[in-house]
Amino acid sequence: MTITIYHNPDCGTSRNTLAMIRQSGEEPEIVEYLKNPPPRDKLISLIATMGITPRALLRQKDTPYVGLNLANPKWSDDDLIDFMMAHPILINRPIVVSPKGVKLCRPSETVLGLLAVADIGQFVKEDGQVISPKRPGRHAE
């Protein structure tokens, strides 16, 4: 199975998602989108496939979101995509593409639904949270 992750190595959620993919036995194609942003048409395609709006993909924390006044509803979808192209840090991450679909994997265990082998065994996130194979997204009991 081919998996692609739009990844930011400085992001804990992105690192956890990548580790879960690898723990499933897959080695994904890694796109460090801050260094190599997707072309505009690819970004539009990813947004459409996820079934979300460009606004839903905007990252607010540690970005120029406030300074650019992006909360203002005056901005069209095309405008927001223009901002993401000019400032890739505004693209929320990680986005994972697999034959099972495309998702913004926040929280990181969202990726389990995109893997060929979703039962990856027990996984411990960087923050110490244990993801149980029987109850993804919950602490192990």
Output the CA torsion 97→49→53→138 (10° steps): -50
Q: Which residue has the tokens 């979808």?
A: 77
**Tokens matching residue 9:** 């190595």
| Cα 6 from Cα 18, distance rounded (Å) | 10
Q: At what angle do helices 40-50 and 77-86 cross, to 10 degrees?
A: 120
Q: Exposure pattern of 12-41 as b/e (b: 16+ CB <10 Å)?
A: ebbbbbbbbbeebebebebbebbeebbeee
Give the residue numbers marked as catalytic: 11
